[in-house]
Chains A and B, each alone.
Chain A
Amino acid sequence: MLAVSGVRKNFYGFTALDGVELHVEPGSFHALVGPNGAGKTTLFNVIVGRYRPDAGEVRLAGKRITGWPTHRVVRSGLGISFQRAQAFLSMSVLDNVTLAVLAQEGLTRNGLRPLANFPEARSKARELLDWVGLEERTHEPAESLPLGDLKRVDIAMALAGMPRLLLLDEPLAGLSRSERREMVRFIEELLRGLGLTLLFTEHDTEAVLRLADRITVLHQGRVLAEGTPDEIKNDARVIEAFLGE
């Protein structure tokens, strides 16, 4: 589904990514872990087109997307949800998701008809909000939502184009213990149910081991290990890298 090969990225002489390989199988949940500064965020930004890699390539479902701008990558089947839950705070929850649906359909250039008069996009947005469990809050302003709900809005927006691959950057960051449990259950139920391919980063080891089918460990800009959760848990290099910090 996603193939990253030989990706290298330097920042002013500092090598953030040093020949990274990553293969995400269709239908799998793939976790990307590593200590801070390992290159997770840089790799994410290369995949979503925010950074252009110095070498290597990124393919999405076989199509080469290296160096494409974000808005184009997103409209070719990649859904993105950010670490810091982000919505358009001046709008209602429903308007946020409706806009995301219209953007996927290329209808946001329309300046003539009110947004509220796009019934198909409206009902699609309602369905997405239904999926993420926010059907009761559609008309609330996004700015009034707690963080956990904002993350759900963010995920609903990321799903607007029925992406082949969903990227979640630290979906649990900033949540309380109980919210975390709920979010893990939510990701499992919803995204498995939809048959989505998922690539995510997360610091919460417990959640990673529970959610992931495969784990890639990044360390100092390189892939240190890759395997199933059981393999990674028992990998001597991984243990050394994490405990040796």
Chain B
Amino acid sequence: MKTHGALYLVATLLLAAPWLLPDYALEVAVQALILALFATAFNLVFAETGLLSFGHAAFFGAGAYASALLMQRASWPYLTTLPAAVLTAGLLALIIGFFSVRTSRIYFTMLTLAFAQLVWAVVHKWYAFTGGDNGITGLHPGALWGDVRALYYLALALFALGFALVRMLHHSPFGYALRAIRDNPARAEAVGLSPFGYLLAAFSFSGALAGAAGFLQVAWQRSAFPDFLYWTKSAEAIIAAILGGAQALFGPALGSLVFVELGAFVQARTEYWPLVLGLVLLALVLFLPRGLAGLGGRRARG
């Protein structure tokens, strides 16, 4: 009952936020929701399969560029580019995953990083198609999505949907199979599970969700930039997941909220945000290895 009460409170606050917060704070909240969706997608692979992807920016960026290019070149209305963004990101994840999920641990991490940097390099240099390092700017998501409140609700809806899907997978036999493969690949094979297919499916799905986050970023910034695919973007998801607690379903979202809000707060006052972030991460790893969710007790899984 206690957890249900807390859940209703959080849901009410999230729904009421546009009426409580000034526009600037709402802009920051949208950014937090986008990162929350991105980090939750990343964590589906990280927490359930134990594989640390350092290349999720590629899927975030693929979603963003698919949406931006369709708006700019084919004049698609913003919202109709969502399926294309998700599909493009999912497909890219399928390709990168095909070569990566067979490898383990550090090799997986390095390979996903290398693939993502490769995609970044292409986007960064291909002026004729992606606009190169100028990006794609001056996009008009339309009157409705230009309004920060509407965009907030769109981001909230997509985050809620993504979270619900990840939660559903977590509790399903598929989620258990992923964790079995993570816990003990040899035993998983010996109960009849073939790891490759499960890992590839999880990775592709995670990539598709990251693409939805990239799609949101386009409306928020009215542009798409190669930065979206740069490795620091991947690092944001990793930091958010670890900050909030990767072993809790809501951990990455919690971490995203703290990361974005704290970042906005500190950056408004000093130029030393990376230093503050470093100290926060250091304190966290030393004193709270399970992240902020670890404060809520040992078995804080939704």
Binds A, one of B97-105, B164-172, B233-241: B164-172
| Interface residue ranges of B148-207 to A (CB < 8 Å) | 168-169, 171-177, 179-180, 182-184, 186-194, 198
Using A90-B183, A108-B176, A108-B177 as known contacts, say yes or no to A99 and B191 having CB atoms under 8 A apart: yes
For the complex, would chain A's binding face be called helix, strand, loop or mixed by DSSP majority? loop
The reply to whether B177 and A114 form a contact with Cβ atoms under 8 Å apart is no
The reply to whether A111 and B192 form a contact with Cβ atoms under 8 Å apart is no
The reply to whether B186 and A108 form a contact with Cβ atoms under 8 Å apart is no
State whether the Cβ of A80 lies closer than 8 Å to any Cβ in chain B.
Answer: yes
Contact with B173, one of A69, A90, A99, A157 (Cβ below 8 angstroms): A99
The reply to whether B176 and A99 form a contact with Cβ atoms under 8 Å apart is yes
CB distance from B279 to the nearest CB of A (A): 31
| Interface residue ranges of A41-88 to B (CB < 8 Å) | 48, 69-72, 74-75, 80, 82, 86-88
Interface size class of A (residues with CB under 8 A): 35 or more
Alpha-carbon distance A71/B168, docked complex (angstroms): 25
Contact with A86, one of B175, B177, B182, B187 (Cβ below 8 angstroms): B187
Neighbouring A residues of B175 by C-beta, 8 Å: 111, 115
Neighbouring A residues of B194 by C-beta, 8 Å: 69, 71-72
Alpha-carbon distance A109/B180, docked complex (angstroms): 13
Alpha-carbon distance A124/B13, docked complex (angstroms): 44
CB distance from A49 to the nearest CB of B (A): 9
The reply to whether B186 and A116 form a contact with Cβ atoms under 8 Å apart is no
State whether the Cβ of A161 lies closer than 8 Å to any Cβ in chain B.
Answer: yes
The reply to whether B176 and A95 form a contact with Cβ atoms under 8 Å apart is yes
Closest B residue to A167 using CB positions:
B190
Neighbouring B residues of A236 by C-beta, 8 Å: none
Contact with A111, one of B172, B180, B182, B187 (Cβ below 8 angstroms): B172
The reply to whether B184 and A88 form a contact with Cβ atoms under 8 Å apart is yes
Alpha-carbon distance A158/B187, docked complex (angstroms): 10
Neighbouring A residues of B193 by C-beta, 8 Å: 71, 103, 108
Interface centre among B171, B188, B190, B193 (most CB of A within 10 A): B190
Alpha-carbon distance A158/B169, docked complex (angstroms): 25
State whether the Cβ of A187 lies closer than 8 Å to any Cβ in chain B.
Answer: no
Alpha-carbon distance A154/B174, docked complex (angstroms): 20
CB distance from A112 to the nearest CB of B (A): 6
**Interface mask (A115-158 → B, CB under 8 Å = 1, otherwise 0):** 11010000000000000000000000000000000000010011
State whether the Cβ of A177 lies closer than 8 Å to any Cβ in chain B.
Answer: no
> Other CB < 8 Å A-B pairs besides A88-B183, A111-B168, 15 of them?
A70-B189, A71-B189, A71-B194, A74-B192, A99-B180, A100-B191, A100-B192, A110-B172, A111-B173, A112-B172, A113-B173, A114-B171, A114-B172, A116-B171, A154-B187
Interface residues, chain B, with chain A CB atoms under 8 Å away:
168-169, 171-177, 179-180, 182-184, 186-194, 198
The 8 closest A-B pairs by CB, nearest first: A111-B174, A103-B192, A114-B171, A88-B183, A70-B189, A86-B187, A108-B177, A80-B190
Q: Sample 20 A-B pairs with CB under 8 A, ordered by A number.
A: A82-B186, A82-B190, A86-B184, A86-B186, A88-B187, A89-B183, A89-B184, A98-B176, A99-B191, A102-B176, A103-B192, A107-B173, A108-B176, A109-B173, A110-B172, A110-B173, A111-B174, A114-B171, A118-B173, A158-B190
